[in-house]
Structure 1
Amino acid sequence: MESTLRTEYSLATVYLNTASHGVLPARTARALREAVDAMATGRTDQVAGFAKVEEARRAYGRIAGIDPGRVAVGSSVAAHAGTVARSLRPGAEVVCARDEFSSLVNPFHARGDLTVREVPLEKLAEAVGAGTALVAVSAVQSLDGRMADLRAVREAARDHGARVLVDSTQALGWLPLSAAGFDYTVCDTYKWLLGPRGVSFLTLPADGGDLVPAGPGWLSARDPWATCYGAVRDPAPDARRFDDSFALLPGIGTAASLALVEEVGTEAIAAHDEALARRFRAGVARLGYEPVAGRSPIVSVPGLGAATADALAERGVRVSARGGRLRASFHLYNTEADVDRLLEALPVAGRG
């Protein structure tokens, strides 16, 4: 893994903010430069570009443990969640965790005729009842890195005839997670999957479940290039009929990034990322803080916030602040030295 990463990364800062945006591998930057140059010199090959997006779909299916025929491509989690929201009957109950990321839950609120019930993350499974139509939850919380008990949620939903929508944006790329075990999953790829912003994936049952495509365009056809005029009368038989008109450049870049994730392997990435997070949790506790407990590589530290994040940035250490707390996140391009640099730059509790 180390030799591969040496050829892919040469960071100018201590970047500990993957939960906001991942760092593009060198191969992805090259692919994007070549595509932009082709577009700027009249050599654009859209057919080849779309083939790269199909390559990304297949790679995502392998990483997410699901048949690529159940994977739709789009540009945002919010749009995918909106497709799921459209499928619910008026008055249906949606249960979600409190303080979820807005892109996952706001489409259900925006409907205006659904009952959206927010509960503490640890109470999510027990909150599912006979009237619940859908549970929407992130596998890993963006705010503080807490992980949902997805097995308990799935079992509770099954017992009550509800569907489950999992946002894996803060999980896939480091957490081994099979999308095949859930009705729907959504994922933005610009964080732990290391792609450029602008590509997302929706996974759905083989039969499409209860979903109706929100805005099916020419790409929803079985053979888009042959039938791109007039109504689409022969839609794709698989998840491609739910494809949005995705952005080509991010799609090309995502294919390159997913290839790196597959080469290194999710299990190796998980071991690396979690070890760095453990090192940081232990170190920040020695400084007198109480980080949010857990095993995810997203670590939230109460008592440190935006002012600390700004001061760290001035010293070449990039983190973020969410919910009034410092949030550090560790990925495959980070090292123990990065963790130690962050710890050395933090004030002792009560002295900052």
Structure 2
Amino acid sequence: MQRRDALGGAEFAPGTTYLNSASSGLLPARSAAALRAAVEESVSYGTMGRDYFAAAHASRAAFARLLDVPAERVAVGSSVAVQSAFVAGSLPAGAEVLAPEGDFSSLLNPFAAHPGIKLRTVPLEALADEVRPGTALVAFSAVQSLDGRIADMAAVREAARAHGARTYLDITQAAGWLPLRAADFDFVVAGAFKWLLCPRGTTFMAFGGDLGRGGEWPAALHAGWVAGEDLGASTYGPIRPAADARRFDEPHAYLSYVGAEQSLGLLAELGVAAVHAHNTALADHYRAGLADQGLTPRPAPGSAIVSTPGIADAEQRLTEAGVRVSVRGGLLRAAFHLYNSTDDVDRLLALLR
């Protein structure tokens, strides 16, 4: 196999062999520099900076370009769980939500906890077949956090359309490396602190389908002053929500979005297609090395995440050797991103051997 160097160049110089992007991504040098400057600025200008909205608006636009959706159909927030609770609150009483078994808790738990919702879970592979006339929403991750399995997004989308159900797609483990058709889904959420390389506290929600077209949006259930059409007139009393998806904005963590603007800029320069080719080639190299050692990871064709049973006890030894991976559900999970190289994969394989 052709050896692959990291794509990040001078943006990354980690002191570890970092193979844990499925937990959180590394911060690019340009993002760290912007954060340092913003922290220094806050000494004289406060914790909202000189311009509280500039970085958030720029990040919104950068995320929209990355997913090829209009910026006015993107809201900024703080966590996937908050956005899931918003989606849950937009459904009618008694609505059935269909989801994969074992999907990430931040996606599923707000539906399970909502008293007016019936959550039904099925195996991921059966998700499209299990959509039925009574299903109001199909909520699922594009890529499973546990083992990297990629959902058949097209099949789920078509099944939902056939039965009049809306779709809620979590791209937290996909955005930044997996090419996506976000506009095909009604609600699309991304926790941006993993593959999008943003600081934690950066989350985006994109609206596809017919949501908001003609001015008919779901109720802005958590709208505060930042969601007002006229920000200068939205600080006291009930507000008039913005005409576009900004009506769903949360008061954002200023510093997180200062870093996000820079991180998303780097990904735009590299291109998702190039990152996808790089990441999946490294993952395939790792799978081949595991096979040489008689080890079989969970099947997840085409994924940048590789989770393997039977070797979870190696995590402590790997950590001590400066190799960062994670254990989830008894599986040793390695995740390959733009700052990784073939040398990183070979080091991991050598230590497992």
TM-score greater than 0.5 by the shorter chain: yes
Contact 2:220 2:241 (C-alpha < 8 Å) held by counterparts: no
- In the alignment, what sits opposite 1:132? 135
User: What corresponds to 2:91 in structure 1?
Assistant: 88
Name the CA shift for 1:285/1:209 in 2 (closer, same or farther; >3 Å). Answer: farther
Matched, 1:59 2:59: no
State whether residues 128 and 155 of structure 2, in contact with CA within 8 Å, keep that contact through their aligned partners in structure 1. Answer: yes
Within a 5 Å distance, the mapping from 1:133-282 to structure 2 comes to: 133-204=136-207, 205-207=211-213, 211-224=218-231, 226-282=232-288
Distance 1:310 1:54, change over 3 A: same
Work out whether 1:20 is the aligned partner of 2:26: no
Secondary structure of 2:188's aligned partner: strand
Structure 2 residue 293 is matched with structure 1 residue 290: no
Q: Which runs of 5+ in 1 are unaligned?
A: 348-352
Give yes or no for contact 1:66–1:178 (8 Å, CA) kept in 2: no
Structure 2 unaligned segments of length 5 or more: list them.
Answer: none
1:18-57 → structure 2 map (5 Å cutoff)? 18-42=21-45, 46=49, 48-57=51-60
Aligned match of 1:8: 11
Structure 2 CA distance for partners of 1:44 and 1:197, relative to 1, 3 Å: closer
What is aligned with 1:109? Answer: 112
- Matching residue of 1:76: 79
Distance, in Å, in 1 between the alignment partners of 2:148 and 2:193 is 17
Contact 1:49-1:252 within 8 A present in 2 as well: no
Cα offset for 1:6?
2.1
Q: CA deviation at 1:40?
A: 2.1
Question: Partner of 1:302 in structure 2?
Answer: 309
8 Å contact from structure 1 (residues 18, 330) kept in 2: yes
Q: 1:311 aligns with which of 300, 314, 317?
A: 317
Deviates more, 1:282-291 or 1:204-213: 204-213
Identity %: 49
SS in 2 for 1:256: helix
Amino acid paired to 1:147: I
CA contact (8 A) 1:83 1:211 kept: no
Q: How far apart, in 2, do the equivalents of 1:185 and 1:233 lie?
A: 25
Structure 2: how far apart are the matches of 1:287 and 1:168? 32
- Compared CA separation, residues 7 and 49, structure 1 to 2 (3 A): farther
Letter of the structure 2 residue corresponding to residue 274 of structure 1: T
CA offsets 1:241-274 (integer angstroms, 9 cap, x no match) = 0001111000111011000000010000000000
Residues 287-333 of structure 1, C-alpha deviations (whole Å, 9 max, x = no match): 1111122111100101111x211110001110000010100000000
Q: Which amino acid aligns with 2:27?
A: L
**Does structure 2 conserve the Cα–Cα contact (< 8 Å) formed by 1:132 and 1:160?**
yes
How many angstroms apart in 1 are the aligned matches of 2:163 and 2:294? 44
Q: CA deviation at 1:233?
A: 3.8
CA contact (8 A) 2:136 2:165 kept: yes
Structure 1 residues 100-125: Cα deviation after superposition (integer angstroms, max 9, x where no partner): 00000000001023111110000000
Contact 1:138 1:167 in 2 (8 A): yes
TM-score, length of structure 2 as denominator length: 0.94
CA apart distance, 1:88: 1.2
Residue aligned with 1:85, SS: helix
TM-superposed deviation, 1:43: 6.6
For 2:235 and 2:57, the matched residues in 1 are separated by 22
Return the offset for 1:232. 4.3
In structure 1, distance between residues paired with 2:45 and 2:161: 53
- The root-mean-square deviation of aligned C-alpha atoms, in Å, is 1.6
Shift of 1:44: 6.2
Give the conservation status (yes or no) of the 8 Å contact 1:69–1:206: no
Counterpart code for 1:107: P
Q: Within 1, Cα distance between the matches of 2:202 and 2:290? A: 35
- Secondary structure at 1:195's aligned position in 2? coil
Q: Which secondary structure state, in structure 2, belongs to the residue aligned with residue 333 of structure 1?
A: coil
Return the TM-score normalized by structure 1.
0.95
Q: Alpha-carbon deviations, 1:28-65, whole Å to 9, x = none?
A: 00000000111124476645341111000000001111
